[in-house]
Structure 1
């Protein structure tokens, strides 16, 4: 893909996420269903944090596209690749897959029907559907350098554990689970669910690595997209 088309893709994706984040953040303060934005507003939801993550990545990608110097050796380019490979791709895919799996089983466990009054269908899909094709598109527009797997998974583990601690803190502070599903678990069940989610994140990270290598190594024997 030409550099011009890649720039257009990154600018479009960044603008879309910026608009979505602004629209969602504007809901804070409105008369929403009880418990939706209490104690932390939208910041306690992985969906919202993921939108910020995607917006940040595509913002960095856009700035990187506009650099006049050699991009492949710049610190910004390395940060962009690290952000995409370790966080943006696995977390974004995780949000989409987990949300729609639980939604198909019982939407009340993750996205109660009362929310539909306040969040139109397009916003639901902006948060939980469009993330997937945009990420897959990113894999096609340019290659990404992946770090050593053990370092990437360690970083994912730290972030995942931090988010779990945040969820527990909210519950201990106001007695409300961020996601209704969590109220159905015992302590051991909650830990099991956490480790299951981390296993899924690990597989999604490895999937991103494999897809990146498959797309960009074919017909390009001299290109190295794996950090040593």
Structure 2
């Protein structure tokens, strides 16, 4: 990012040393991996033995890949590994291979289309429903195997992880957002396919709120609301990005 000093008769232009932010990003990636990795191991141990004799827990476990929260955890883990690969050459002060330059482009696309929109949407929607009536989104029986610490890692810590990356990774806003939005809604539609195909095969929904609203006008409104939230989160990030980095971040200024 350029800064202009007017302390002399001739303006002086210089660049903010944003390469230093690679170290902060690495800290964020390692922290995210530690949180999610440790949480996954903890939950896997909890979902063993006598707990699986409970019919509700058994059903909950069998639906694990139908929960959008689990998808998001996987996305953040993949993104953290990708981020480490992107920033290692900078932190090790070695020549950046062409592969790393390509990975940086993928990192930016993944963050802007999936990581940020879904991270914020899950946080907003989950806690809004949870506060109103937790039985509609995270029934009390789940507490038998998922502690509140694990719940907060999956539904709260995901936002600080995203904000940390937003603060330390400058991005160039594309001239057209259609391909990015195609990625965001492509992921959303893929999830809906898994959700509805599971219901078609097994006749159950992973979230009680879907069972409650099924067959009413509120049912489609849920998905319309999610789609709108994703849209707002996607476009909102560019406003924040411009406030943090300005509107003219170029590829040479990016790390």
TM-score of the two chains, using structure 2 as the length reference? 0.78
Aligned to 1:223: 249
Q: How many residues get paired?
A: 220
Question: 2:152 maps to what in 1?
Answer: 125
- Equivalent-residue separation in structure 2 for 1:146 and 1:205 (angstroms): 11
Flag structure 1 segments of 5+ consecutive residues without an equivalent: none
Residue 191 of structure 1 and its aligned partner are, at CA, apart by 2.6
Shift of 1:152: 1.3
The 1:197/1:71 distance shift into structure 2, 3 A limit, reads farther
Whole-angstrom CA distance in 2 between matches of 1:145 and 1:17? 29
Q: Which residue of 1 aligns with 2:13?
A: none
Is it true that 1:74 corresponds to 2:101 in the alignment? yes
Distance in 2 (CA, whole Å) between partners of 1:206 and 1:71 is: 32
Alpha-carbon contact 1:82-1:146 (below 8 Å) kept:
no
CA distance in 2, matches of 1:180, 1:46: 14
Q: Does 1:88 align with 2:115?
A: yes
Contact 2:43–2:145 (CA under 8 A) maintained in structure 1: no
Q: Match of 1:198?
A: 227
Q: TM-score, normalised by structure 1?
A: 0.87
Q: How far off its partner does 1:116 sit?
A: 1.1
Alpha carbons 1:21, 1:51 under 8 Å: kept:
no
How much does 1:222 deviate? 5.4
CA change 1:119–1:16 in 2 (3 A) is same
Distance 2:210 2:125 in 1: 13
What is the root-mean-square deviation in Å for CA atoms of aligned residues? 2.3
Task: Give the secondary-structure state (helix, strand or coil) at the position aligned to 1:144.
Answer: coil
After superposition, the Cα gap between the structure-2 partners of 1:165 and 1:187, relative to the gap in structure 1 and judged at 3 Å, is: farther
1:51 paired to 2:80: no
Question: Does 2:64 match 1:42?
Answer: yes
